[in-house]
Amino acid sequence: MDPPTIAGVVIGCCAGVGLIFCVYSSSSLLGRLIALPRQTCKEKNRNAVRVGILGAANIAPMALIFPARKMEDVVVAAVAARSFKKAQTFAKKYGIETVHENYNDLLDDDSIDVIYNPLPNGMHAFWTIEALKRGKHVLCEKPLASNADEVRAMIKAAAENKPKDGRKEGLLLVEAFHYRFHPLAREISRLVKSGVIGEVSHIEANFEIPWPFPPKSDIRFDMNGSNSELAGGSLMDAGCYAVNVMRLATDGKEPSEISTSKIIESYKGIDQSADAQFDFENGMTARIKCAFRAWGLKVPKLKVEATKFNLYVYNYLAPFVYHRLELTNRETMEKVVQNFYEGGASTYEYQLRAFVGALRGDRASMELCDFAGSPEDALKNMTIIDKIYEKAGLKPRSGKPIETL
């Protein structure tokens, strides 16, 4: 795979963070990215976790396939897609041994331990619940569902069904907010929780994907607004990150009110941008902005104003590409700049290692999965997204109907 292709994968998989200039400005970084597909384990463990992919999604190589190649205890063993031919092509390209005719055949494969679900948002709940019913653990892309009611149904399915592998803790369902598995996110949380920066007064977070991404024919635009069951929109795809990182900086406090919500639709029911402001019971305020096809370079950032220090994070989303954490003393205005590369592993590698560790019963991995992507936290995030839509006079998204609702 050549450098331009890898660069395209990074941009696409990170949803157009606009950091290509950083990639090419660092030869060591570019080398790591180019090496991702080639970092292959010589031999997999006999009891390696076997993962099946629902859909030949563009995110799957960066989020799962490449990290799995670096791990002895994970095998990407099967794939199914809407088109059998597309699944075959995908499997051949990435060395996946089994191709199933359809999604149900994959879910019925007793040799598969885990399902990775990168399908469109509106298909997350339906197919995740189907996987849980068959006793499969699930790593599901964000947002976990189309709305809060769907998340509740997923939590219920995870609790009511037993894992095929007999895991004593039950079925593992994790929302793939990959950035939260990285040491940078844990440091943000530590700084807030410990009181190092003082009492937080205001938070701002954004994720605005630069023009021309995504094209309006993309599933994130519900394919030119033609299929509402895909549950697309900028708030769902990009805004879920901004809401999530805002909540990371609140020390567990949830907004008491959405004071303003401005949403611009590209098609009826499909938002191209969103701008929302929040009030909290303790007087804290927050604001999130998200967009598709935004003009200019708008890297995902987090700004936190507090009584002792102001916290600024440049590129919270894909910190393995490039990031910067700044702490500015409110009294002296002295600034300290930090970064947390720790070997250069991608957020996706941290995520997969934690997921597999949690399956194996590793306590630290289970705690990290709970911190980064528990379904209970997904419910809180989705509840806020639903309310942002409602405040703007719109209905929450809805996906493929599920029987449990």
Catalytic residues: 142
Question: Left if phi > 0, otherwise alpha if psi is -120 to 50, otherwise beta: which for 165?
Answer: alpha
Distance CA 289, CA 275 (A): 5
Sequence letter at residue 200: V
Tell me the DSSP string of 263-281.
EEEEETTEEEEEEEEEE-T
> How many residues are present in the chain?
405
Paired tokens of 249: 């900086």
Confirm if 176 and 142 have CB atoms less than 8 A apart.
yes
Confirm if 244 and 181 have CB atoms less than 8 A apart.
no
Sequence letter at residue 202: H
Confirm if 64 and 352 have CB atoms less than 8 A apart.
yes
User: What CA dihedral angle connects 140, 141, 142 and 145, to 10 degrees?
Assistant: -50
Burial class (CB in 10 A: 0-12, 13-18, 19+), 257: exposed
Beta strands (DSSP E) in 218-322 are 257-267, 270-279, 285-294, 301-306, 309-314
Paired tokens of 391: 């405040």
Which three-class secondary structure state does DSSP give residue 138? strand
Question: Left if phi > 0, otherwise alpha if psi is -120 to 50, otherwise beta: which for 285?
Answer: beta
Strand partners for 328: 310, 335
Confirm if 346 and 356 have CB atoms less than 8 A apart.
no
Which three-class secondary structure state does DSSP give residue 329? strand
Confirm if 16 and 292 have CB atoms less than 8 A apart.
no
